[in-house]
Amino acid sequence: MTPLRFLAPSWIASIAFAASACSGAPSPASKPAAPSSVAEGTTAAKSAEGSWRSRGYGLLLTVSGGGLRLHHETAAGCCVDPMESAELLETFGYGRTGPNATSRFFGPPGETQILFDRIDRLPASCEQKRAWDAPEVLDVFAATFSEHYAFFAERGVDWPARVQAGRAKVTPGMPDGAFFDVLTKMLEGLGDAHVGLSAEIDGEMRMFEDPHSRTLGLLAARARAEGRPVKEVERAWLRAYRDGILQGILDGKGRQTANDRIFWGFAARQVGYLNVVTMGGFDEGSPEKERAALESALDEALPAFLERASTVIVDVTNNRGGYDFVARAIASRFAAKKTLVYAKQAYRAEGVEPQAFYVEPSPKVRFTGRVFLLTSDITVSAGEVFTLSMRALPNVVHYGTPTRGALSDMLVKPLPNGWTVSLSNETYRDAKGQAFEGRGIPPTEPFDFFPEGDLMNGHASSVRKLLAHLGLGGMVPLKGP
């Protein structure tokens, strides 16, 4: 892995894949330290014991004195998740009462809250052990997307037609590789960075992803033209991006910190510059350690900006996503007051109000002066959540090109043969009620930071051109304090 990329574009912020059948769970926006039991406040909630069905998400949760069990349910079948209770507690170990006596929210405080309704017992199909042939696995795959994928219309895909075409090619006992190809063909063209398929076939991992990005597409085309592996060309491009920041923008005087995920310094005499390439990966440990490493980096940068800068540029043109809580934590360093930044709602979560998220001013050092936010078509996932969070602040102006358009948390789902799919099932809306899934978040001021004619070095020179356009230092490298 290169210093600038810790997660593949379409598998951001997900939990680890398990190899056994029916593995997987919804990917939380963050994973706080697990409590010892399902709790409400600091008191174990005896009232949570029993079986629960989620609204949206397709989950069946069982809470007992012995811990938690999770099942995944579709119209085509049900199977148990192999995750141990201790792992499930990381996501479902927090709860609070719902809108009535037979409902309850589960989810980490301040993060995604999933509403469950109490049921008398699990469906009988959830306890049956059985073998699944390829046509039956296809049925679960098709039902998973039919019941939970929220953006077929936005992506221009006729899913029933694709299911029909796929079903015609699937037969019992067909080779796994051929079956994998059928499923990936059904997903091609969605262009959703959060849609993926992962499988172990003949001892090798195969993954499908189809994230639409003009810039990454141009890099792939260059690799094909030069007869080189795409990853090799991307690595070279990422090295040029990093060097362009450190030398071309920060004149060799910048800092690279937080596990090489954050760059900061001064792009001109009174212009601070902060570049965040992932919303996570700052520490290899828990989310608490992630947050500590992030705050440590910001505790260095923000006082320097406050002391020396009248303007700060925040650059997420190459941000590949991560944790939503990280996105909001960074935005809190530029907020003057508590601000509604977005709300989200799961597909087919009937009767559930959108969950609102706010950015509150950090108690630590903040910069509330003029800020320019930079994005591109690479900016994705939690990078787009950061974009929503910053755009809601009155001191921020958004420059760049539209973001990738994949804001939803990834819903990670098992297939009965041990393969794993991920998909987008949540609609994020900004404070004005606008949704950007599939089309990206448009900038206030258009500006291309990855010009086609200069892919390798265009980012740094484009930032310098923006400085000149804004009257903030032009193309002259910063010399002296």
Q: Cα separation of 211 and 217, whole Å?
A: 9
Please tell me the predicted confidence (pLDDT) of residue 433: 96
Q: Cα separation of 378 and 12, whole Å?
A: 13
Please tell me the predicted confidence (pLDDT) of residue 83: 84
Q: Which two tokens stand for residue 330?
A: 């960074």
Q: Which residues contact 441 (CB under 8 A, 6 or more apart)?
A: 375, 384, 387, 388, 391, 398, 402, 403, 405
pTM: 0.88
Does residue 99 contact residue 93 with C-beta atoms inside 8 Å? no
Q: Which residues contact 102 (CB under 8 A, 6 or more apart)?
A: 117, 118
Please tell me the predicted confidence (pLDDT) of residue 37: 53
Mean pLDDT by 10 residues, the chain (481 residues): 28 27 35 45 65 97 93 92 87 90 92 96 88 95 98 96 98 97 96 96 93 90 94 95 97 95 96 97 86 96 97 98 96 98 96 96 97 98 98 98 96 93 97 96 97 93 95 52 30
Please tell me the predicted confidence (pLDDT) of residue 39: 57
